[in-house]
Amino acid sequence: MSEFEPKIVAFVCNWCTYAGADLAGTSRIKYAQNVRIVRFPCTGRIDFMLLLKAFEEGADGIIVSGCHPADCHYTSGNYHARRRWMVFKDLLDFIGIDSRRIVFSWVSAAEGAKWAHLVNDTVSEIRNLGPMKEYKNLENVSSNKIGELIND
C-alpha cells in the first residue's frame, strides 16, 4: 500500500497568508501538493462551520492562517478568529475530533518560506495521525441504528 496522502484544506486571509503563499510561488519554494487553498477576505470571516464541512467533505487536516497579531488588514479580524478558535477547540474535543487536525497559524505576506514550512509540517503531522475517519464512521451509522442507540 502506498503511503497515505492526507488531504489538507487551507482557509487563508487575502491580505497576509494568501499573499504569503503567492510569495512562496514567486520565490519558487517547493512544498507538498496536498493543500487546497480557499481565499477569504479575513480570518475573521471564517465561519468555523466551514471547518466541519471540510472534514465532512473528506479533508484530513485543516490550516487556518491569517495576519499576525496587530497586522490585520481589518484591525482586529484575526483576534476574533483566534478567540473563536480557542472556543472551537473545546467543541472539537467534545465531538471527538482530534484538535491536532486543525493548525492555526499566522503567515504574513512576507513569509513565503514560513507558508511552505507550515504546509509541509501539517502534511507530515496529519500523515502521522492517519486518515480522518470520525465522519466516515458516522456516515455508516444508519438512521435506524441511531434510533436504536437512543432507545437503548
Positions that interact with another protein (CB under 8 A):
7, 9, 18-19, 21-22, 24-26, 28-31, 33, 36-42, 44-48, 50, 53-54, 57-59, 70-71, 73-77, 80-81, 84, 116, 136, 139
* Nearest 10 degrees: Cα torsion 134, 139, 142, 148: 20
Q: Least CB distance from residue 152 to another protein, whole Å?
A: 27
Toward another protein, which CB reaches closer, 99 or 120?
Answer: 120
> Rounded to 5 degrees, what are φ and ψ at 4?
-65, 125
**Closest separation in Å from C-beta 50 to another protein:** 5
Least distance from another protein to the Cβ atom of residue 151, Å: 27
Q: Shortest distance, CB of residue 146 to another protein, whole angstroms? A: 19
Between CA 125 and CA 147 the distance in angstroms is 36
> What is the sign, positive or negative, of the torsion defined by CA atoms of 96, 100, 106, 109?
negative
Closest to another protein by CB, 30 vs 142, is 30
Strand-pair partners of 37: 10
Instruction: Return d(Cα 58, Cα 62) in angstroms, integer.
Output: 11
Smallest distance, another protein to C-beta of residue 141, A: 14
Nearer to another protein, 22 or 148 (CB): 22
Query: Does residue 37 contact residue 64 with C-beta atoms inside 8 Å?
Result: no
Residue whose CB is less far from another protein, 50 or 129: 50
CA angle 117, 82, 134 (to 5 degrees): 75
Nearer to another protein, 30 or 152 (CB): 30
